[in-house]
Structure 1
């Protein structure tokens, strides 16, 4: 008698694949017959979630997809599968808003397997002065060269949202709230982005965060990025690759908010899955303190458990990646999760990138962002 294969989908990077694949081969999981496939980062960010749930049992997803997944009825609500006390414990242990980001309409739809947010990254060996602490420091350094923004794909929009949070005016998360962004603050943020963008290498324009970090680690062309999704894998050196230093994001003024837009990954069960006890036990293991502070970090993963982010041995092995960025993730901005948001994010990012590249006035852009977000109410 053969056991049906449980199909899982994650994204194509060691951080997203190695620990999941290794965990599926543990003795306790061998009988599950769990197989993990990979999709590109761009698919993780924007591929229609209903299509993925039609083809896979376990889906590693970005939290803004939750609203569309719920609207499509393609994922299990976790209160149907786990006891309330388990959900409360996972909520309490998870760093920043990573657990809450997978909640929608009063129910939980995913578990925060991995935690990440936009952080700053530096090649400290290429910066003679102290590392930037404020956005004024960032713009001053950018005039000397070597400062880049992450703007490829959805990341122009995500960097914009992070800066809005740092300026004290995070974007709205409910389309019924008007406006999406405060116009005066948005214009100031976009002017700052334009200053940095205008001086950065064109080689960085089309780099997703993984490729940007590879470039920073392997080339001396750039030395600082104020906002990029943190990947612990680059905090230590490797063959042909230097270590980069991850830091809290800049603040607008001393004592201000470390503006950052939450990322990370959640794991959801599609409605095609058969949530047998053994499969649920495997998810319990992945969320356990034992896995989160030991197995996952030792297999190139990036845990969501706050204990791991504070653990001395975990930090020692990761160039203090977690300790150096903990304040940023604890106060991260959570994007909207309503149906239609992913499409809006894609369009908004393209519009921001176009405005930065063409150096056009920003007032019309801000008006378009506010109108586009308001139209999500029409769905």
Structure 2
């Protein structure tokens, strides 16, 4: 039997899965934008295995379209994979006391720099702003990334969004974040504002029109042309503000997993796959041991960004979050473009977030 799988259209998302699958799984791809926003229940209706982003869990659980992995793997296996995964990757795919996906791939927003053009990467946000005054620097703002950048800067400033779910973010922190983002964005090359992370890294790696992006999802596949380092802090030694990304491997309810398929998933999470096979096929492993292995392909990428990945913020995962993220990103872009005042945008973000959660979720 051949199972159907859907992943995202980039060597990091596809090559290792396809190389490992043989005749067991046929992998299709969707664009990065589909991975970020396409309703997961629609994908699960068509595919047995789905590579997804953890904020989709709420809508998936509500739609009952994923198989709980607690029913397919032993508690010992899940505990082992969780203990061995870097940062919050494993727990980001747990919701309502069940495990819904396994962290196949780990990524978070980090800094990317053409050090051959500008020298050492800036370590603090003051340094980022200073570099932007003399070299092309851009924020990641397309699609959902405007809000993700907003959230990451807030984390660096000492406040995780949604810690108080009724407020989303304090007015003081939110205003400081928008002011900083506006100052950096005002100096950015205009062509960068519509680019997703892959587009930004392509521009940086292939031209001299972009020298630094302080927050962009790290791709080891670009580490031969771009230097990746920890996300900026507000003060030296502070927390590098970053929003967790990466991918999880889930099984849909249309899937009747065979012993061979479950063994294949076990192998993808194994040390042999995580430390050797995936990296040799453009993958970006989730295992902490792989990130710490000096012999891994792209070892400098992992070494320079481990601290950020370990401390990354996990986004909310309620069923209305994806719609909120889309609307919130549009609101942040409006603030940066001067189309709306910062105070009004913060009020709008708070209203959007409250509306994204049911009364029961708000009361929990």
- Give TM-score, length-normalised by structure 1: 0.93
Aligned partner (choices 19, 22, 30) of residue 19 of structure 2: 22
What is the aligned-residue RMSD (CA, Å)?
1.1
SS at match of 2:45: helix
Partner Cα distance (1:228, 1:131) in 2: 14
Partner Cα distance (2:166, 2:42) in 1: 32
Is the 1:260–1:332 contact (alpha carbons within 8 Å) kept by the matching residues of 2? yes
Is the 1:173–1:336 contact (alpha carbons within 8 Å) kept by the matching residues of 2? no
- 1:78-227 alignment to 2 at 5 Å? 78-128=69-119, 130-172=120-162, 177-227=165-215
SS at match of 1:89: helix
**1:378: how far off?**
3.0
**2:216 is the counterpart of 1:228:** yes
Aligned to 1:68: 59
Partner Cα distance (1:7, 1:360) in 2: 45
Partner Cα distance (1:186, 1:332) in 2: 19
**1:169: how far off?**
0.5
Is the 1:145–1:200 contact (alpha carbons within 8 Å) kept by the matching residues of 2? no
SS at match of 1:38: strand
**1:106: how far off?**
1.1
Aligned to 1:239: none
- Give TM-score, length-normalised by structure 2: 0.97
Aligned partner (choices 235, 248, 268) of residue 230 of structure 2: 248
Runs of 4+ in 1 over 3 A off after TM superposition: none
Aligned to 1:240: none
Partner Cα distance (1:182, 1:271) in 2: 40
Ranges in structure 2 where 5+ consecutive residues have no aligned partner: 360-364
Aligned partner (choices 42, 45, 57) of residue 51 of structure 1: 42
SS at match of 2:337: helix
Aligned to 2:315: 335
Report how many residues are paired. Answer: 359
**1:319: how far off?**
5.6
Is the 2:118–2:135 contact (alpha carbons within 8 Å) kept by the matching residues of 1? no
**1:58: how far off?**
0.1
Partner Cα distance (1:330, 1:79) in 2: 25
Is the 1:245–1:319 contact (alpha carbons within 8 Å) kept by the matching residues of 2? no
SS at match of 2:146: helix
**1:131: how far off?**
2.4
**2:326 is the counterpart of 1:346:** yes
SS at match of 1:203: helix
- 1:264-343 alignment to 2 at 5 Å? 264-314=246-296, 317-318=297-298, 320-343=300-323
Is the 2:230–2:304 contact (alpha carbons within 8 Å) kept by the matching residues of 1? yes
